[in-house]
Amino acid sequence: MNMINIDPRTKIVVIVCLSTLAVFLNTPGLLLLLFAFTLVVLSLLRVNFLGITAKFKKLIPLLLAMLFIQSAFAPGGEVLLSLGGVPVLTAHGINSALCILFRMLTFFASAMIIMTSNSKDYILALVQLKIPYEIAFMVMVAFRFLPVFVEEVKDTLVAIQLRGVDLQKIAWRNKLKFYSHFFTPLLNSVMIKAQQLSITMEARAFRVYRRRTYLRVLRYSRLDYLVMAVFIISTLAVLMLDFIDVLQVAKNSR
């Protein structure tokens, strides 16, 4: 199945469906299955897995920290580890920690579907979904500015280090002061770039009329209809089963 050319609107539907399922499913097994399925979708969209793994690597400490915090603060069930009589790891804690872990991984993975189309395609998608074009462009500009912001952070850090500041050797109490010096020029520089960009857009007649035309128009293919139908129907079915299950549990507990 060649999913690489599917319409960006279909991709938005896929992301919404996957994220919705990630919110409503609440067993580690099902969430793991959902995460695996999301990876399959990514591979069908020819997303670079090495790039994803590199991005996930940076999240590992955060996810591990969440795993421990969640398992410590959600006690219940069999105690697996206790310190001085205080339960630290419980079966219920680990269960909810794994749920959160797989949920977060599914969110991150499904968000990567966004990267498989360019920003102009999403503007067209949003406009054809009847979102006002000013808002669609604002969303696009926000995406455009993420790498600019990262670049500015790197440049500012290099500039500070070139002036002889060794970031590794700064004491924690001084780091706060350092970051106030760091963020002021960073914010200033990003604001200037944002202003220049908005001036450029206006100087190219942006918003001169209420409407605008588009050189390209997005059109759904049969594959788009098929993919949307499969995702929407499956999501609704899973949500319905989940709802029935919740009702059953509530009935049994009465």
Partner 1 sequence: MGAVTVDRLSFRYQPAAGEVLKNISFTVEKGEIVALLGLSGCGKSTICQCLGGIIPHLLGGEMTGRVLVNGKDTKDHKVAQLALEVGLVFQDPDTQLFLPTVEDEIAFAPENLCLPVEEVAARVNNVLELLGINDLRHANPNNLSGGQKHLVAMGAVLALDPGVLVLDEAMAQLDRDAKRKINDILCDLRRRGKTILIVEHDLETVSIADRVLILENGLLIRDGQASGVLGEREFLIRHKLKFEEEPGMDRWGL
DSSP 8-state symbol, 26: -
Q: Would you count residue 208 as binding partner 1 (CB under 8 A)?
A: yes
Give the bridge partners for 75, in sequence order.
none
Q: Would you count residue 207 as binding partner 1 (CB under 8 A)?
A: yes
Rounded CA separation 235/166 (Å): 51
Tell me which stretch binds partner 1 (CB under 8 A): 26-34, 94-102, 179-187, 191-199: 191-199
Q: Would you count residue 4 as binding partner 1 (CB under 8 A)?
A: no
Q: Would you count residue 250 as binding partner 1 (CB under 8 A)?
A: no
Q: Would you count residue 146 as binding partner 1 (CB under 8 A)?
A: no
- Show the CA angle centred on residue 137, arms to residues 105 and 141, nearest 5°: 60
| Amino acid letter for position 234 | S
Specify the residue, 92 or 193, whose C-beta has the smaller distance to partner 1.
193
CB of 171 to partner 1, least distance (A): 37
Tell me which stretch binds partner 1 (CB under 8 A): 96-104, 137-145, 155-163, 179-187: 137-145
Q: Would you count residue 189 as binding partner 1 (CB under 8 A)?
A: no
CB neighbours of residue 125 within 10 Å: 19
If we measure between CA atoms, which residue out of 79, 106, 86 comes closest to residue 25?
106
Q: Would you count residue 179 as binding partner 1 (CB under 8 A)?
A: no
Going from the C-alpha of 160 to that of each of 54, 146, 152, 168, the distances in angstroms are: 27, 21, 12, 12
If we measure between CA atoms, which residue out of 117, 113, 95 comes closest to residue 38?
113
CB of 97 to partner 1, least distance (A): 39
Report residue 238 as tokens: 């899973």
CB of 91 to partner 1, least distance (A): 49
CB of 122 to partner 1, least distance (A): 10
Q: Would you count residue 209 as binding partner 1 (CB under 8 A)?
A: yes
Tell me which stretch binds partner 1 (CB under 8 A): 14-22, 57-65, 68-76, 112-120: 112-120
Going from the C-alpha of 127 to that of each of 38, 78, 139, 180, 217, the distances in angstroms are: 27, 53, 11, 39, 10
Rounded CA separation 85/66 (Å): 23
Give the bridge partners for 90, in sequence order.
79
Specify the residue, 144 or 154, whose C-beta has the smaller distance to partner 1.
144
Q: Would you count residue 206 as binding partner 1 (CB under 8 A)?
A: yes
User: By the 8 A CB rule, do 79 and 30 touch?
Assistant: no
Specify the residue, 51 or 77, whose C-beta has the smaller distance to partner 1.
51
CB of 250 to partner 1, least distance (A): 50
Q: Binding-site residue total for partner 1 (CB under 8 A)?
A: 26
Which residues of this protein are in contact with partner 1, per CB under 8 A? 118-120, 140-141, 144, 193, 196-209, 211-215
